[in-house]
Amino acid sequence: MPAEQAGTFYGIGVGPGDPELLTLKAVRLIAAADWVVYLANDQGQSQARTIAREALALSKAGQQELPLVMPMSTDRRLANAAYDQAAEQIQQALEQGLQVAFLCEGDPLFFGSFSYLLERLQDDFSCLAVPGISSVNAAASALVEPLTLLKESFAVISGRHNDEQIRNALQQHDSVVIMKAGQARPRILALLAETGRNDDARYLEYIGRDNQRIETDVRQLADEAGPYFSLFVVTRALADNRRGTR
């Protein structure tokens, strides 16, 4: 099919959890899409769909939904097989000239699952991304504190990094956000203590959702794994404000 007759694949960021944080553009494109695709667990539950529920309520007649069931496994071969299958289904829709919206928690190009479908489809179809509010920015908003100021350095890393990488980030940067902290929480707590940054750190879970949790003293956290949707925000500004030096 000529490119001008094919459909467009949209990666749409729906933000971290609060439905009111969707952009007007995201709402418009979700409502107008022929297909809406999103990740789901084996019970069919989808965080992204839940966040976008109000936009989906505005959808045009005949809109179809495609839950992409993602295996909860560290074996990337299983995830890649799921993305391969989804890409084939999306390709068929695009070849029919349909508009396909993929709902992505946070921002679609920042730790976003949209990226894995994008690499499979972008050579043959028009692909566009609609930015969403990331959990990094949502965390700063929930804390009502700046992530970084003036000449302070800033890094975003993952709890999936090894101890040396996390330790280096904590030692080398004024502000550090550690995403995907769930399974790594005991390691991160130990590294915060080792690097002397306990007083700089805040911990957040499920930002913008009904079960949001903020812990301002990380020493109070249980030394055990936390939920997938959790992160640490570590800032020099926080420590300085506590000491009254700003």
| Per-residue pLDDT tens digits for 14-48 | 999 999 999 999 999 999 999 999 999 888 889 99
pTM: 0.86
In the chain, what are the domains?
A: 3-133 (3.40.1010.10), 136-243 (3.30.950.10)
Lowest mean pLDDT: which of 63-67, 125-129, 145-149, 235-239?
Answer: 235-239
Half-sphere exposure of 97 (CA within 13 A, CB side): 4
pLDDT, tens digit, 9 for 90 and up, residues 187-213: 999 999 999 999 999 999 999 888 999
* Dist CA 189 CA 193 (whole Å): 6
Is the pLDDT at 238 greater than 70? The verdict is no
Across 15-164, the runs of DSSP E, i.e. the strands, are 35-40, 64-69, 100-104, 126-130, 154-158
Q: Which residues pair with 15 in a beta bridge?
A: 106
The pLDDT of residue 228 is 87
Higher pLDDT, 89 or 2: 89
The pLDDT of residue 43 is 84
Q: Coil, strand, or helix at residue 180? A: coil
Is the pLDDT at 242 greater than 50? The verdict is no
| Tokens linked to 52 | 């976008």
pLDDT, tens digit, 9 for 90 and up, residues 121-155: 999 999 999 999 999 999 999 999 999 888 899 99
The secondary structure element, H or E, covering residue 68 is strand 64-69
Residue 205 φ/ψ, nearest 5 degrees = -125, 145
Over range 64-82, report the average pLDDT.
85
